[in-house]
Amino acid sequence: MSAPAMGTSKTAHTDSSNKKKKGPGTLATAYLVIYNVVMTAGWLVIAVGLVRAYLARGSYHGLYYSIEKPLKFFQTGALLEILHCAVGIVPSSVVLTGFQVMSRVFLTWAVTHSVREVQSEDSVLLFVVAWTVTEIIRYSFYTFSLLNHLPYLIKVELNGNKQLYNKTDSLSTIHIFLKHEKAFRGVQN
């Protein structure tokens, strides 16, 4: 039996060699892979729906109606990400993830769904396209990361996509919502 190196104890040496990069367990990893594959597929459905509607109409006006149901479903499905953080299967902050997800859910349901006039605004198309591109890349990135196989193209796209996402026109949509909300309240009074 050899003596531990000078300045270290046998237990410290054993503890450091047993430390591995902590991640989700096998069951949690399998679940997260399935979740991310489903979300990637869902956002691909939205992307294809947008392109098909554009090609059929020859215009980008009113494209929201062609992807309304899958958008609501998959954007609402992102609420599970808050739960993933809360139970600890992903190492992200519950608060930050909650703010990000809830802001999108708010924009989808409280603003776009509840005020029909907003649905035909160009700003809705801007954030839907930005979300779609972002989510396809993001969920693909998470899937490949969980499988320990990350293609270079996804790394490049993920970095470049931050600029697109930051330029979405969510505030314009909220402004339009508030304008219509004030007009609606004026009619009721």
With 0.85 as the threshold, say if the pTM is over it. Answer: no
Contacts of residue 140, defined as CB under 8 A and 6 or more positions apart, other chains included, come to 36, 40, 154
pLDDT the model gives residue 149: 84
pLDDT the model gives residue 9: 47
Max Cα distance, the chain (Å): 88
pLDDT the model gives residue 44: 98
d(CA 63, CA 53): 6
Closest CA to 72 of 132, 113, 127: 113
pLDDT the model gives residue 136: 94
Residue 62 · residue 176 · CB < 8 Å: no
d(CA 58, CA 144): 36
d(CA 57, CA 135): 25
**Length, in residues, of the chain:** 189
Query: Which residue positions in the chain have pLDDT lower than 70?
Result: 1-21, 151-189
Contacts of residue 40, defined as CB under 8 A and 6 or more positions apart, other chains included, come to 135, 136, 139, 140, 143
**Chain segment 153-184, per-residue pLDDT in tens:** 655 555 555 544 444 445 556 656 666 656 55
Q: What are the angstrom distances between the C-alpha of 48 and each of 38, 54, 92?
A: 15, 10, 30
Helix, strand or coil, per DSSP, at residue 64: helix
pLDDT the model gives residue 168: 47
pLDDT the model gives residue 150: 73
Closest CA to 87 of 130, 175, 27: 27
How deeply is 100 buried, as exposed, middle or buried, from its count of CB atoms within 10 A (0-12, 13-18, 19+)? middle
Q: Which two three-digit tokens encode residue 41?
A: 């597929």
The residue extents of the domains of the chain are 25-188
Closest CA to 77 of 48, 111, 38, 31: 38
